[in-house]
Amino acid sequence: MNRFRISTPEGTRDLLFSSCRALRQTENAVRDALEERGYSEIITPAVEYYDVFAQANPELDQDQMLKIIDKSGRICVARPDNTTPIARIAATRLDDAALPVRLYYSQKVFRSVSGDHGHKGEFLQVGAELIGADGLAADKDILSAAFAALSRTGADNFRIELGHAEIYKALIEELGADAASSEAIRRLIENKSFAALGDALQPFGSRPAAKALSAMPQLFGGIEVLDEVETLTGNVRVLGAIAYLRRLYQALDEAGYGDRIMIDLGLVHEMDYYTGIMFRGYIGGAGAAILAGGRYNALCAKFGRDLPAGGFGIDVESVAESLQGASRPEVATRRDTVRIALTKGRLEKKTLALLKDAGYDISELEAGTRKLIFTLPDSGVEIVLSKAADVITYVEHGVCDMGVVGKDTIMEKGGSFYEMVDLGFGRCRFALATKKGKDVYGGYKTPVIATKYPAVTKAFFNRKNMDVETIKIEGSVELAPLLELADAIVDIVETGTTLKENGLEVIEDVAPISARVIVNLASAKMKKTAIQKVIAELEKGLEK
Ligand code: PRP
């Protein structure tokens, strides 16, 4: 018994001494900056009813909420987000308060995370909410508070990128796509999946909205991005949003923050939540956004009072970690290097050939050593060789800026990164296959599917509204139906030889696969020029 006596739950950890000091220093710096700007602290319960969060914020995945059943059998959750309870308070408890109200909080949020991904299940957020004010002055107030807070931490290498919810909403409405295609298109823009987005927009031909939407993933960088949009569309709502962003940029530039602002019009998070500007903050050394915010005018109304609102939250622990690491010499080197993780094995040869064609000196890699990290001479590029799934892990955590990995691994493992280029090689497909003549769908038995890719398999049958039982197999999945362990398999088919030689046949294709270039979210922004250069060179290599 007492098996878990000495460990802490997934995603949680103890912080000791210098880590505590660094965290508190950053936390206090952010709190001071917000207090100075007239924001007052509120504290909300660490545990609230599930209903508070269930509908309010579609960005909150139900699976990720840490649930607790109270004595009366009601479902409660450990606070998964700070903005929602504050909207609840604003709508129900601040009747007499003079608007606008400036509120800030410094409290933890909790998520239920599955092990081995290195994702945090508990983190301290300090954030601000400006409630009861709308428009340029209010948005400037919120963003100035965000800039002031990050500056106060002592960070010198941070940026905030701006987007606007109206741009995607207006274009998708103009396009006239149904709900399912709109969501698919939104996801492809969000992940910067250029190639797949082109395919998804193909049915809409040369409609101007299709052209503008297909450019959205690329529309990130400096303020000049706004000029580009104006050449792409005449949509009045989009142009209105662009004019608004320009005015906001000018106001923030006058306040001295111009150099720290980037634009990303491909910021298209869950659209029911954000109603105006959206923004994300990045800091050198942290692989993910350390700040997120925007305008959510519809949120308070969900608790019974229609109030405009906007705000942001800062992951102070990640900021503190980045500041602690900033003095290490390798961090300074990393700022100027693009580190690329390559998948060993099947894709390795073709990726290396592509790098060679693009003019990189890969002789050390060709020498066949057991080394794992290689510096390509005079290029500012480092290569890391790893297994496919690890390519994703390294890129997601930002210890590698880019990766080359198969779509099969991307589909199975998922994660937060941009999928920027379809390299076109390593082409094969996922397929459902079984013994010749077998009827997988016949009878009343729940089909048993053997696979190396349980997530891909479950998603495929979910789309069909079918319940199946999956069994994870590590290699040569074809054996499972032959040994009568499973009714069918979902596996990679390249030439089809393995299936044929074992008396199996494809029943249905699941998805096409090829090698993709993935890019870390923060690196795409903080090292944009260097990464775009590598991508352009690889693409040039592909044309040869
Ligand atoms: C893959 C896949 C099939 C085979 C398909 O396995 O799992 O077994 O390739 O290729 P084909 O259609 O050209 O015959 P892989 O070679 O990667 O080995 P593994 O099963 O050990 O992962």
E strand intervals along 177-305: 220-221, 261-264, 277-283, 291-295
| Sequence-ordered alpha helix ranges (H) in 416-507 | 454-463, 479-482, 497-501
CA 96 to chain centre: 39
Mean pLDDT, contiguous 10-residue spans, the chain (544 residues): 84 93 97 98 97 83 92 96 96 92 98 82 96 98 98 94 96 94 92 88 93 93 93 96 97 96 90 89 91 96 96 97 83 85 94 93 91 94 96 95 97 92 96 93 90 96 93 96 97 97 96 96 92 93 78
> 336-426+515-543, what's its fold?
D-Maltodextrin-Binding Protein; domain 2 (3.40.190)
Does ligand 1 come within 6 angstroms of the Cβ of 114?
no
Task: Cite the residue boundaries of each domain of the chain with CATH code 3.40.190.10.
Answer: 336-426+515-543, 428-511
Mutation to probe ligand 1, out of 451, 492, 500 (largest number of atoms < 8 A from CB):
492
Query: Which helix (DSSP H) or strand (DSSP E) does residue 311 occupy?
Result: strand 309-315
What are the phi and psi torsion angles at 487 (to 5°)?
-80, -30
Whether ligand 1 lies within 6 angstroms of the CB of 475 is answered as: yes
Q: Is the CB of 495 under 6 A from ligand 1?
A: yes
Architecture of the domain defined by 428-511: 3-Layer(aba) Sandwich (3.40)
State residue 321's pLDDT score: 92
Q: Given this model, what pLDDT does residue 373 score?
A: 95
For residue 271, the model assigns a pLDDT of 60
Please tell me the distance from the alpha carbon of residue 440 to that of residue 386, in angstroms, as a whole number: 37
User: Closest Cα partner for 291 from 498, 105, 427, 125?
Assistant: 125
pLDDT at site 4: 85
Location of each CATH 3.30.930.10 domain in the chain = 1-157+302-330, 160-283
Ligand 1 close to Cβ of residue 492 (< 6 A): yes
CATH for 160-283 is: 3.30.930.10
Distance 476 CA to ligand 1 centre (A): 7
What is the assigned CATH class of domain 1-157+302-330?
alpha beta
Distance in angstroms (rounded) separating the CA atoms of residues 241 and 230: 11
493 Cβ partners below 8 Å, 6+ apart? 428, 429, 430, 431, 433, 499, 506
In the block, residue with structure tokens 């959206």: 278
C-alpha 478 to ligand 1 mean position (Å):
9
Sheet holding 515-519, edge to edge: 373-376, 381-386, 338-343, 402-406, 515-519, 418-422
Closest CA to ligand 1's atom 8? 476
Amino acid at 106: S
Q: Does residue 494 have its Cβ closer than 6 Å to ligand 1? A: yes
Task: Give the tokens for residue 430.
Answer: 């996922």
Q: Which ligand 1 atom is the nearest neighbour of the CA of 492?
A: 2
Looking at the DSSP bridge assignments, the partners of residue 108 are 124
Beta bridge partners of 518: 403, 419
- The pick from 409, 430, 498, 501 for probing ligand 1's pocket by mutation, whose C-beta has the most ligand atoms within 8 angstroms, reads 498
Euclidean distance between the first and the last CA atom of the chain, given in angstroms as a whole number: 64
Contacts of 98 (CB under 8 A, 6+ apart): none
Do the Cβ atoms of 430 and 492 come closer than 8 Å?
A: yes
Question: For the chain, how long is the longest CA-to-CA vector?
Answer: 77
Return the pLDDT at 534: 95
CB 426 within 8 A of CB 514: yes
Q: How many CA atoms lie within 13 A of 249 on its CB side?
A: 23
- In this prediction, residue 402 carries a pLDDT of 97
Residue 315 has, within 13 A of its CA and on its CB side, a CA count of 21
Q: Of all protein residues, whose CA lies closest to atom 5 belonging to ligand 1?
A: 493
C-alpha 475 to ligand 1 mean position (Å): 8
This model's pTM is above 0.85: yes
CB within 8 A of 178, min separation 6: which ones? none
CB of 500 closer than 6 angstroms to any ligand 1 atom: no
Handedness of CA 198, 202, 205, 207 (dihedral sign): negative
Tokens found for residue 532: 């775009």
**Quick count: other Cβ atoms within 10 Å of Cβ 491?**
29
If you take atom 2 of ligand 1, which residue's CA is the nearest one? 492
CA angle, 504 then 510 then 513, to 5°: 100
Contact 265, 165 (CB under 8 A): no
Quote the ligand 1 centre to 498 CA distance (angstroms). 7
